[in-house]
Amino acid sequence: MDFTYTETQDMIRDTLSRFLADTYDFETRQKFINGDTGRDPAIWTALAQDLGMLGAAFSEEQGGLGGGALENAIIMEELGKVIAIEPYLPTVVIAGGALKAVGGAQADAMIPEIIAGNAIVAFAYAEPQGRYDLANLRTTAKKDGAGYVLNGHKSTVYAAPWASHLLVTARTGRNQRDKDGVSLFLIDANLAGIVRRDYPTVDGSRASEIYFENVAIPGDALLGGEGTGLPLIEQIVDEATVAVCAEATGVMQKLHEGTLEYTQQRKQFGLPIAKFQVLQHRMVDMFMEVEQARSMTVMGTLKLDLPANERMAAVSACKSKVARGAKFVGQNAIQTHGGIGITQELAIGHYFKRATMIEGQFGSADYHLDRYERIALAD
């Protein structure tokens, strides 16, 4: 048993951490998110070209550094520590994950573009009626000659306003909630008939409602088999779920550290409030949640390659624990800060907002508890 990181992994963390310390302080982040486009593209280019960071999770044959899920987790945690809004999750973890899984010409063509920072992919999977059910799809892709015609509505597609490509789940057959008949497509984001309504999100990112209106897509946009895409989608969403847990670990660590720091400065009744036992115990409880989130993320990451049922149970255990921990740490960070915690002025509130959104991303604590029960505690 060995939970140490390799030299390369340590180097990835250190390099990224130093880069973000120089480029992504809280005020700079606020400038990015309040600007017209909501981001600074130079950061993404630097992550790709100066740091080689976007290749960390791809094999050397594909032009990467030979890593995988652990590298994704390291990078997501560091991005979480600065509440970065960079589209690493949909582009590298999700689209990159799908491409690695299907391989072939599509992977050969697209992965170098991702590694170089030329391609940004948004993951259009959620639908207004679907909640967390990946197979609950009204979006359809109908066979049309060699290609397909896409129709439907995808909701809250994070990073879509910045995207060059969209990774889309759609139904190529069967009925709305069937497990069969689901397919995955990687398409150009600017095809005719793609209508976007862009907006900011409460946690500082940008997202879109996307409407597909008779969008003609080529046949080679299909990733994997037609109508048999659900297991692949479940796999990449599980990888993404663990990755947001890694991000949450970084966010929670900062919420805890910020609270420790604040309580040692803030004086009431003649003492730093960190001296009050009721607050000390609370900060100890927060600390324990951060540590357990980190443990569960390691566990989830290491079990991503297991057979589907074991993987799903592990990922659900991880997400339900992290979601609850993120709520606990976030709420108590705000409460312990008092009034200043609920303003936009301190970073702490912005970490809390991201932690809150992570709670529900790819399934709430209840959703994952339920999935865990169904798999791990099956009769």
Partner 1 sequence: MDMEFSPEDLAFQKEVREFIAENYPAELRGKQDEGDELGKEDFLAWHRILYKKGWVAPAWPVEYGGTGWTPTQRFIFSEETARADCIRLMPFGLAMVGPVIYTFGTPEQKAHFLPRILSGEDWWCQGYSEPGAGSDLASLRTAAVRDGDDYIVNGQKTWTTMAQHADWGFFLVRTDKDAKQQEGISFLLVDMKSPGITVRPIITLGGEHEVNEVWLEDVRVPQSQRVYEENKGWTCAKFLLAHERTGIAGVASSKRGIEKVKEIARTELDGDKPLFANPFFKRKLAELEIDLTALEFTELRSLAGANAGKGPGPESSLLKIKGSEIQQRLTELTLEAVGHYGAPYFRGFGANDLGGDNEHPIGPDYAHRAAPTYFNMRKTTIYGGSNEIQRNIIAKMVLGL
Rank residues 198 and 291 by Cβ distance to partner 1 and give the closer one. Answer: 198
Q: Between 194 and 223, how does the x/- string for binding to partner 1 read (CB under 8 A)?
A: ---x-xxxxx---x-x--------------
User: Of 155, 164, 228, 295, which lies in the binding site for partner 1, with binding defined by CB under 8 A?
Assistant: 155
**How big is the site for partner 1, counted in residues (CB under 8 A)?**
47
Q: Give the closest residue to 300 by CA, choosing from 255, 239, 347.
A: 239
Residues 325-354 that bind partner 1 (CB under 8 A): 327, 331, 334-335, 338-339, 341-345, 349, 352-353
User: Per rule CB under 8 A, is residue 374 in the interface with partner 1?
Assistant: no
User: Per rule CB under 8 A, is residue 377 in the interface with partner 1?
Assistant: no
Rank residues 110 and 159 by Cβ distance to partner 1 and give the closer one. Answer: 159
Residue position matching structure tokens 């892709």 = 141
How far is 233 from 294, CA to CA, in rounded Å?
25
Angle between helices 365-376 and 308-337 (to 10 degrees): 150
Q: What would the two tokens of residue 114 be?
A: 């991702």
How far is residue 149 CA from its own chain's centroid? 28
Residue position matching structure tokens 């600074």 = 40
How far is 359 from 202, CA to CA, in rounded Å?
13
Nearest approach, Cβ of residue 352 and partner 1 (Å): 7
User: Of 255, 279, 293, 296, which lies in the binding site for partner 1, with binding defined by CB under 8 A?
Assistant: 279
How far is 40 from 38, CA to CA, in rounded Å?
7
How far is 40 from 244, CA to CA, in rounded Å?
22
User: Per rule CB under 8 A, is residue 369 in the interface with partner 1?
Assistant: yes
How far is 289 from 25, CA to CA, in rounded Å?
25
User: Of 4, 265, 268, 277, which lies in the binding site for partner 1, with binding defined by CB under 8 A?
Assistant: 268
Binding site for partner 1 (CB under 8 A): 126, 128-133, 136, 155-156, 158, 177, 197, 199-203, 207, 209, 267-269, 276, 278-279, 327, 331, 334-335, 338-339, 341-345, 349, 352-353, 356-357, 360, 364, 366, 369-370
